Structures are given as structure tokens and as C-alpha cells.
């Protein structure tokens, strides 16, 4: 009877989120180290690292879920974010659109979250992007697949502020050239950072949709309309 009672108690303890002493001390030590490292960097990445460390330390001190875990659970946001959008552009061939996109330095002209892209060599480039709270993040990217006039894929390399990858595909159709873009990234701070971005109106899916709407205007009309908020119409 005592064994059964003890097992039920342990089960209830596990369900309530309690942790072992080993995990508790490990969380406290690791979390404290992350906080100190993050604060010393004085950057968005450092702030998020400190925030993550604080959550880990809180987890160790209380045996409960950290703020980051609670936010991720409440919002349903996973660590990795994947968005994809497709737009059809008239009067432009896959060859023309491929050439424009292949020069990554053109991307900030219609992707508002990008501050700059600098070509390093034939396959590598350096990217600087806006981030929440008026900060920025940077990374180097490497082209992985390059099928002329058809497909480009790329991925960030080691040391990136934001681990990410992307794909753009160009396909000729009866209505014009279909451009499909897929972006996947892992924001520093995971679900908590994604939630902050949502609060500041930086929903990734909407952001990519707006980028492609501007790309369509630029390719079809040669310029991007400055008036925002008007109906975009059917693509």
C-alpha cells in the first residue's frame, strides 16, 4: 500500500511540473551563465540570451515552467517558424525574375525587413535585417541550390544571429510566372521572440505576403506604390 501511495504521489508530482534536484541545480547554473553572457553582449541576441537564461534559472529555482515555455505554450508558437507564399507575375518570364532575384542585393528594394544584403562571392552574401524593439540581426548566407531560371535555395552559415533558410521557385504558367517563396527560421529566444514580433505587428506570414505584393508591383509596373493600405486585388 505504501508503494502504491508513493507512486501515485510521484506521478502527481511529475504532472505538476516538479523537477529533480539534479535538473534544478543544472538549470540554475546554466541559466545564470546564460544571463551573464547575454548581458555582456549588449545586443538583441544578448538580451534574448539573457531572457532565455532567466527563464531557465526560474525553472530551476521554482521547478515550474519558464516564461518562455508558458508564452510558447499559450501562443502555439514552435521554435522553428516556416512560412510560404506564392504570387503570379504577368509579362515577366522566369528568366527575368530569376536574374533579378539571384542578385540578392536587390531584395531590400521590396523586402522591408531587410536593411541590406552584400554579395561576398558567387555563393555567399551578408544579410542585415530589422528586428523587434528597433534592433537588427546579421548573418552570412550560402547558396545551396542554383538551377538557372528555375530555383534558388540558400541557408545561413554558422555564427548567424538568426538560423534561417529560404527557397524561391519560378514556374511559367498560362497566367504568367508563378513565384513561390518559402522561408524557415529559428528566432533567438524561440516562441517568446515570435510572440514579441506579433505584438509589434511583424507577423511572418503577413510580412512575406507584403514583400511579394511589392515584388509584383516592382516587376509589373517598374515601381512600388507608396500608398499603403489599399486593396491589393486578385493576383
Q: Please tell me the distance from the alpha carbon of residue 115 to that of residue 107, in angstroms, as a whole number.
A: 9
Give the pLDDT of residue 118.
98
Is this model's pTM higher than 0.85 or not? no
Measured in whole angstroms, the distance separating CA 164 from the mean position of its chain's CA atoms is 7
Cβ burial, residue 131 (10 Å; 0-12/13-18/19+): buried
Beta-sheet strands, E only, within 57-150: 81-89, 114-119, 124-131, 135-147
Give the pLDDT of residue 69.
52
Supply 77's cell numbers. 508558437
Name the band, by pLDDT with cuts 50, 70 and 90, for residue 115. Answer: very high
Q: Please tell me the distance from the alpha carbon of residue 50 to that of residue 166, in angstroms, as a whole number.
A: 28
Mean pLDDT along residues 139-164: 94
With contact defined as beta carbons under 8 Å apart, do 92 and 179 qualify?
A: no
Give the pLDDT of residue 171.
97
Residue whose cell numbers read 558567387: 122
What HEC string does 152-209 produce? EEEEECCCCCCEEEEEEEEEEECCEEEEEEEEEEECCCCHHHHHHHHHCCCCHHHHHH
Is 231 a residue whose pLDDT tops 70? no
Name the band, by pLDDT with cuts 50, 70 and 90, for residue 16. Answer: very low
Tens digits of per-residue pLDDT, 214-227?
Answer: 999 999 999 998 75
Mean pLDDT along residues 193-202: 47
Supply 166's cell numbers. 529560404
Mean pLDDT along residues 53-64: 61
Bridge partners of 172, per DSSP, are 177
With contact defined as beta carbons under 8 Å apart, do 204 and 83 qualify?
A: yes
Q: How many helices (H) and strands (E) does the chain have?
A: 7, 7
Is 111 a residue whose pLDDT tops 90? yes
Is 205 a residue whose pLDDT tops 90? no
Q: Which domains does the chain have, with CATH numbers?
A: 2-65 (no CATH), 81-221 (3.30.530.20)
Mean pLDDT along residues 186-198: 53
Per-chain mean pLDDT for the chain: 75
Is 1 a residue whose pLDDT tops 60? no
Amino acid at each position: 500500500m505504501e508503494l502504491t501511495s508513493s507512486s501515485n504521489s510521484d506521478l502527481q508530482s511529475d504532472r505538476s511540473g516538479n523537477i529533480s534536484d539534479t535538473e534544478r541545480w543544472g538549470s540554475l547554473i546554466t541559466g545564470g551563465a546564460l544571463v551573464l553572457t547575454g548581458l555582456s553582449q549588449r545586443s538583441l541576441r544578448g538580451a534574448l540570451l539573457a531572457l532565455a537564461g532567466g527563464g531557465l534559472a526560474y525553472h530551476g529555482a521554482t521547478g515550474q515552467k519558464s516564461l518562455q515555455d508558458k508564452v510558447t505554450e499559450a501562443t502555439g508558437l514552435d521554435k522553428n517558424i516556416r512560412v510560404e507564399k506564392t504570387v503570379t507575375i504577368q509579362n515577366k518570364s522566369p528568366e527575368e525574375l530569376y536574374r533579378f532575384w539571384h542578385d540578392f542585393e536587390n531584395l531590400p528594394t521590396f523586402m522591408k525587413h531587410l536593411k541590406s544584403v552584400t554579395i561576398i562571392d558567387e555563393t555567399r552574401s551578408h544579410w542585415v535585417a530589422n528586428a523587434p524593439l528597433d534592433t537588427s540581426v546579421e548573418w552570412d548566407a550560402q547558396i545551396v541550390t542554383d538551377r538557372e531560371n528555375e530555383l534558388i535555395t540558400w541557408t545561413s552559415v554558422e555564427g548567424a544571429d538568426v538560423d534561417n533558410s529560404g527557397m524561391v521557385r519560378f514556374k511559367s504558367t498560362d497566367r504568367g510566372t508563378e513565384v513561390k517563396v518559402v522561408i524557415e527560421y529559428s528566432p533567438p529566444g524561440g516562441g517568446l521572440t515570435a510572440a514579441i514580433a506579433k505584438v509589434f505587428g511583424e507577423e511572418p506570414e503577413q510580412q512575406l505576403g507584403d514583400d511579394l505584393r511589392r515584388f509584383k508591383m516592382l516587376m509589373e509596373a517598374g515601381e512600388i506604390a507608396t500608398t499603403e493600405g489599399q486593396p491589393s486585388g486578385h493576383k
